[in-house]
Structure 1
Amino acid sequence: MKKKLILMGVAAALVTATLIGGSLAYFQATGQRVKQQINTKNLGIQFNEVGKDGLGKDIYTQIPNGTVYVKEILPGAEIQKEVCITNTQNTDLYTRITISKYWGSFKGSEFIKDGNKIAEKIKIPAVQDKDNSGDKARWILQKEDNEQMVLYYTKPLAPGENSKIFMDLIQISQDLQNDYADLGVELKMQADAVQILVGQDAIMSEWGVLATIDDQGYITKIEE
């Protein structure tokens, strides 16, 4: 009964937030615009590959459907790929991303997954934050297994703002056997988000984790 009352209280908080002109919503995206289920505003996240132009300035190129493909795989290969997300709409949000790793083969433009191959042989090293300015914006790796990793961005992402990169390298295991020959890799990235209004309750309700949020709105800890 106590648990039921707590959940009812969270639901009431979410409804109240929408009634006072806020708009608290949860959505999933794979690089496409997704309309809120609560009101007329839109939330949007776009996955971008980060590169440099001829003057050394960052340029951002959208990754279609939040999916990265690597077609030619060699044992021990290291593929440079810097990826961030961008808040493409008009509302501040908290976000998490889930990266799923697959082996498979290409049939024309179609990728055919091979569930018998070991996804652990595809590695995405944690990005080392070299920013010594005291900026608290970073990615928290909350969960990782052989096939999937889940990361939370600590900073409320403002409209039009780019996150820090969450991936800069794809590593292929050195000990690939012959049955991996001619296979490729798919990384499927999904973004989920809630608005920052009553953010702790929204995160608990939608993602089932307890977020510790400081007085500046930064997430400092994620606990299950």
Structure 2
Amino acid sequence: MKKNKILFPKKVALLLGAAAVLLLGSTVGSTRAALTYYSENYSAQMNLKHIGVSLVENGQVVSSRDYVSGNEWSGNTEGKLLANMLGEKEKFTPGKQYDEAISVTNSGDIDTFVRVIITKSWKDKEGRKNAELSPDLIELNVPENSGWVVAEDQSTPERMVLYYTKALAPGETTPGLSDTIRIDESVAQQVNKVTDGSTVTYQYKYDGYSFNLDAEVDAVQTHNAKAAIKSAWGVDVSVSDDESSIGF
């Protein structure tokens, strides 16, 4: 089942401080916990009793959605990632690692396999994405041996596609697909030289921009998993005989 953005060098310190303040505003991102529709091809083989997922950040549920039947949903909530990344009065520091453990809880009543799509981007004050700024500078660390695998062939610098390889029982929560987030310190070193007559100024490339994290969660039934995953996610997987794990 498919779920569902000055003069130099005299003002260097001042400018870096301003850059840190601007990046502070970028600690707010958005998140979607989405269950998309199940495949009609397998509706007869599915237990539609209750399928649901909750996105968890640092131990707290951020978003959730539970599918009941037809167009009926329950427990539909949507929050924001990174909202509590900094402590009170704490200033954001490029290069520093911040806790960012993202996991998934099966809030439904049937065993499922889950997939998460993480999208990283830079946006201006109006929320418009700037495709010329590098999402590679937004570093979300994926720990080893967590049960999560990154589908490299489906991923890009902006988009990470991760699969949890074990079946997730009702009420169970996965290990974190990430543990920390870090913005490469080079973000404060990328400047453009602007010459206007005898005046030379340096403009920070990322000045005025914020970094953003989106997460989309999908849940697929374990029953007839190979066919259901192919239909829902369009990927071929191997499934253990007891339908408790998948492989790529």
TM over 0.5: yes
Counterpart of 2:50 in structure 1 is 42
CA–CA distance in 1 between the matches of 2:245 and 2:150? 13
Structure 1 residues 194, 217: CA separation in 2 closer, same or farther (over 3 Å shift)? same
Counterpart of 2:12 in structure 1 is none
* Aligned: 1:118 with 2:131: no
CA–CA distance in 2 between the matches of 1:82 and 1:213? 27
Provide the secondary structure at the position in 2 that maps to 1:167: coil
CA–CA distance in 1 between the matches of 2:49 and 2:247? 29
Structure 1 residues 155, 122: CA separation in 2 closer, same or farther (over 3 Å shift)? same
What does 1:19-98 align with in structure 2 at a 5 Å threshold? 25-28=1-4, 30-31=32-33, 38=43, 41-51=49-59, 60-63=60-63, 65=78, 67-69=80-82, 74-98=93-117
Provide the secondary structure at the position in 2 that maps to 1:201: helix
Provide the secondary structure at the position in 2 that maps to 1:205: helix
Structure 1 residues 217, 40: CA separation in 2 closer, same or farther (over 3 Å shift)? closer
Shift of 1:116: 2.6
Shift of 1:200: 0.7
CA–CA distance in 2 between the matches of 1:114 and 1:73? 21
TM-score by length of 1: 0.69
CA–CA distance in 2 between the matches of 1:114 and 1:185? 10
Counterpart of 2:241 in structure 1 is 215
Larger radius of gyration: 2
Query: 1:23-73 deviations in whole A, cap 9, x for unaligned?
Result: xx212393367776758533211111134xxxxxxxx33256364247975
Provide the secondary structure at the position in 2 that maps to 1:155: coil
Structure 1 residues 165, 105: CA separation in 2 closer, same or farther (over 3 Å shift)? same
CA–CA distance in 1 between the matches of 2:122 and 2:111? 35
What does 1:116-155 align with in structure 2 at a 5 Å threshold? 116-129=132-145, 138-143=147-152, 144-155=155-166
Query: 1:85-124 deviations in whole A, cap 9, x for unaligned?
Result: 11111111111111000111345xxx44322311111121
Q: Which has the higher strand share?
A: 1
CA–CA distance in 2 between the matches of 1:211 and 1:140? 13
Provide the secondary structure at the position in 1 that maps to 2:237: strand
Structure 1 residues 161, 95: CA separation in 2 closer, same or farther (over 3 Å shift)? same
Counterpart of 2:220 in structure 1 is 194
Aligned residues: 180
Structure 1 residues 77, 148: CA separation in 2 closer, same or farther (over 3 Å shift)? same
CA–CA distance in 1 between the matches of 2:208 and 2:124? 7
Computed over aligned residues only, the root mean square deviation of the Cα atoms, in angstroms, reads 2.8
Provide the secondary structure at the position in 1 that maps to 2:78: helix
Q: Percent identity?
A: 27
TM-score by length of 2: 0.63
CA–CA distance in 2 between the matches of 1:163 and 1:204? 22
Provide the secondary structure at the position in 2 that maps to 1:68: coil
Contact between 2:52 and 2:107, CA under 8 Å: does it hold in 1? yes
Structure 1 residues 83, 124: CA separation in 2 closer, same or farther (over 3 Å shift)? same
